Structure 1
Amino acid sequence: MLLYGRNPVLEALRDGRVSEVLLARGVEEAFVREVKETGVRVRFAARIELDQLAGTTQHQGILAEVEDLAWASVEDILDRAQHRGEDLLIVLLDGITDPRNFGAIIRSAEVLGAHGVAVEERRSAPLSPVVAKTAAGATSYLPVAQTKNLPRLIDRLKEGGVWVYGAAGEAAQDVGRLDLRGPVALVIGAEGEGLRRLVREKCDALVRIPTRGQVQSLNASVAAGILLYEAMRARGEG
């Protein structure tokens, strides 16, 4: 798989997943030295060649041939919380098919202390170079898992004592009034469609983020970031 963008490529280099790096001519020498110090094969090319290979001009002058990103399992996420001796904080995505939203949510989840992100197999963007680029390297650190059936996973989490909160703009309950300490799952739905009916029904509560502007809804990745920050703050980490 071709990965592009400086942070994602540098994280993949640290992870040992890169076989070759392609750099645009004119990339600053300090960055070139940093890449060469990893011992990975480096090749230089015209920027237009990188544009064609990446299918975008937003590659920042660096492409890398890397192993495909691998899905984790839900068990990996649960084990991560257990090994850290922390109450679980997991993000569940219901129908997030835009790769930039997906990547931005992974980035926020890693930065704000979640133990992982889980998606339903048939209702998610794939783990792609666009996701990795938008996640800015977070895919190297945070488990991202697939599940065959999201409502069934919610049932499993609830049986394990996890409180499940779904984001919904029309909900009566304000996220600022929630107690987000303890094991928590935050469920984010697709923009426009929101959460599916069955997913909504499985949640312990639906919560909203108060807004004051004329536009009543937030981007899915922004909503996820706000909810995650509230969870981090409630746990005394913010």
Structure 2
Amino acid sequence: MFQSKKNIIAGRNPVVEALKSDQTLDKVLLFKNASGDAINEIRQLAAAKNVPVQYVPNEKLNSLTNVLHQGVIAYKSSVVYQDLQQVIDWVNDKGETALFIMLDGVTDVRNIGAIARTAVCCGVQAIIIPDKGVGALNEDAVKTSAGALEQIQVCRVNSLLKALDTLHLNGINVYTSEMQAPKRIYDIELTTPCCIVMGNEEKGVQSYMSKAADDQFSIPMVGSFDSLNVSVATGMILYEAMKQRKI
């Protein structure tokens, strides 16, 4: 089954023009043996605009479109990505207390959409995602979010660790949600500027992110079930944050 033409851009010159324009792209797929001036330009433009580039076999590209792709396909994004520092400044200028969500390895677009929906309802100003290892914020994600992804600031960064440093430099505490953390969610002070890091359901938050965070917490559960769905867990955490801030 071919992707909808409105979701992808195929061909070297069309992708170059898309990268030069204001069009927001999720990623670029390049035939792993592609070469030439246009390919080099695509790599440079993608790097300048922080658009991930993935190298794939030609069969992969052929399976996505019946258009002459010349070894290049780009995915259009359904959201507009924002600069993290500019979003932090925007929140501060409004006189609000930052409440951000950072997604570490969450790949299911339905979970991302559900997280965005809850985040908007609980007063989160921004969601921070990496440029790789996260589900594409496509039409399915926007649909699952009931439009919330179009109402919240989404910051795509090339390094979550560098983003964590940016948060710290701006006085924003970072907390990671982990199953084995001794502290409970209600033991964490969430009325101050903070960002919650959520990992995927299998591996959780990456260890280096946990070590760089200010603290870790867990969600208490009855019984010995492995884990909560990440979007459900995020909702429980954000409700606690909203409760603390309202009280």
TM-score surpassing 0.5? yes
Q: Tell me, what secondary structure is at the counterpart of 2:91?
A: helix
In structure 1, the partner of 2:199 is 189
1:179-222 deviation digits (Å, cap 9, x = unpaired): 11110000000111101111111111110000003313111111
Instruction: Give the secondary structure class of the aligned counterpart of 2:197.
Output: strand
**After superposition, where does 1:123-202 map in structure 2 within 5 Å?**
123-202=133-212
Give me the CA root mean square deviation.
1.7
Per-residue Cα deviation, 1:146-199 (whole angstroms, up to 9, x for no partner): 001001111121122111110001100001111111100000001111011111
From 228, 231, 237, give the equivalent of 1:221.
231
In structure 2, the partner of 1:78 is 88
Among 214, 232, 238, the alignment partner of 2:242 is 232
Deviation at 1:76, TM superposition (A): 4.3
Deviation at 1:71, TM superposition (A): 1.8
1:13-162 aligned within 5 A: 68-162=78-172
Q: Distance in 1 between matches of 2:81 and 2:190?
A: 27
2:153 is aligned with what amino acid? P
1:27 maps to which residue? Answer: none
Please report the TM-score for the alignment, with normalisation by the length of structure 1.
0.69
Aligned residues: 174
Q: 1:215 to 1:67 in 2, by over 3 A?
A: closer
- Rounded to whole Å, the distance in 2 between the matches of 1:67 and 1:120 is 14
Q: Secondary structure at the match of 2:246?
A: coil
Q: Aligned pair in 2 of structure 1 residues 182, 154: CA closer, same or farther (>3 Å)?
A: same
Q: Among the aligned pairs, what percent are the same residue?
A: 31
- Conservation of the 8 A alpha-carbon contact between 1:96 and 1:123: yes
Q: What are the superposed Cα offsets for residues 86-130 of structure 1, whole Å, 9 maximum, x if unpaired?
A: 111110010111101111111111110001100110121111111
Whether 1:207 aligns to 2:182 is no
In 2, the alpha carbon distance for the partners of 1:207 and 1:160 equals 22
What is the alpha-carbon distance in structure 2 between the residues aligned to residue 169 and residue 67 of structure 1? 33
* SS of structure 2 residue aligned to 1:165: strand
CA distance in 2, matches of 1:204, 1:67: 32
Aligned CA distance change for structure 1 residues 202 and 171 (closer, same or farther; 3 Å): same
Q: Per the alignment, in what secondary structure is the counterpart of residue 82 of structure 1?
A: helix
Contact 2:175 2:216 in 1 (8 A): yes
Unaligned runs of 5+ in 2: 1-5, 8-75
Secondary structure in structure 2 of the residue aligned to 1:93 = strand
User: Structure 1's 80 and 233: CA in aligned 2 closer, same or farther, altered over 3 A?
Assistant: farther
Shift of 1:67: 8.2
2:162 corresponds to which letter in structure 1? R
CA distance in 1, matches of 2:142, 2:117: 9
Q: Runs of 4+ in structure 1 displaced over 4 angstroms? A: none
Instruction: Indicate how the Cα distance of structure 1 residues 81 and 211 shifts in structure 2: closer, same or farther if over 3 A, else same.
Output: same
Structure 1: how far apart are the matches of 2:77 and 2:111?
A: 23
Question: 1:178, 1:67 → 2: CA distance?
Answer: 35
Give, in whole Å, the separation in 2 of the partners of 1:154 and 1:67. 24
